[in-house]
Structures are given as C-alpha cells and as structure tokens.
Structure 1
C-alpha cells in the first residue's frame, strides 16, 4: 500500500516525488537510486524503523552550512534493540 500512503501525503500538500521500480532491485540499489533522483539542498536517508532526532539534524545542517567543502554527513544516532530493551 505504499503508493496509496504516498498519494495521501501528497494530497495533504507534502512535496513528495514517488518513484516505483518495475522489479525489486534490493535495498542498496533503492538507496542509491533515491539519492541520485533526490532534489533539493539536502537529502536524508530515513528507513522505516528510523526516528529523526531533530536537534541533531539541525546541528548537522548548521555544520554543513558552515563547512561548504563537506558534501556528506550524518547526524548522531542511537541503536535500540526492542527485543533486548537495550
């Protein structure tokens, strides 16, 4: 139901461009394709089980703005194991 969900977000006014492959190319190819097709000043990869830490993202954007020679960065992240609760 991905396409339906995306269409609902678009109907709410979110600026989403949706691309669907004819065949499943796997995770690595999809991430590469998404980054290649992305437009805008910044691109972010966010998986379905990821949660943005907004302050960390804002700090990373400030870092990129202040260091124009840097073309790629990642915000700090935390790993939480739902099974082990750690």
Structure 2
C-alpha cells in the first residue's frame, strides 16, 4: 500500500509477524514484487493528447565534485571525495 503526501511517500509491507511502515522523501524509487500490481497502459486518446502537448526543456546544472565509495570499481581520480 502506498500513500503520497507533501513530498513524502508512506509504504506498508507485510513481514513475518506484522506490517512494516516506511516513509521516504520524494523523489524515491520503489520496487514491487512481479505480479503484485498490474501496470496501467496508456489509452490511444492519452497517447494522441501527449503528442500534442508542448515539451518543456530545462538546463541541467552539474557539480564538479566526484564521489567514490570505498571498494567501488571506479577509475581513480586526481582529488576524489571518499566516504
């Protein structure tokens, strides 16, 4: 079960002996067991409406900082920040 609120999602899952409740800030990535939820497919009307809708383009801003986790298979850099 999922509940979306002001910038958060609250999830419940069955565990041995009860129900676990987890809250995460949005955006978040959720994974579900296969077959538990049926995907929603877009209708033809929705696809045609999406084709006509204008697409907003935004510039991406990138930081120059690079982070490498200990034990990762990343290539060594001159001044990495290691956690």
- Scaled to the shorter chain, the TM-score interval is under 0.3
Q: Hey, which of these two has a bigger chunk of helix by percent? A: 1
TM-score, scaled to structure 2: 0.19
TM-score, scaled to structure 1: 0.19
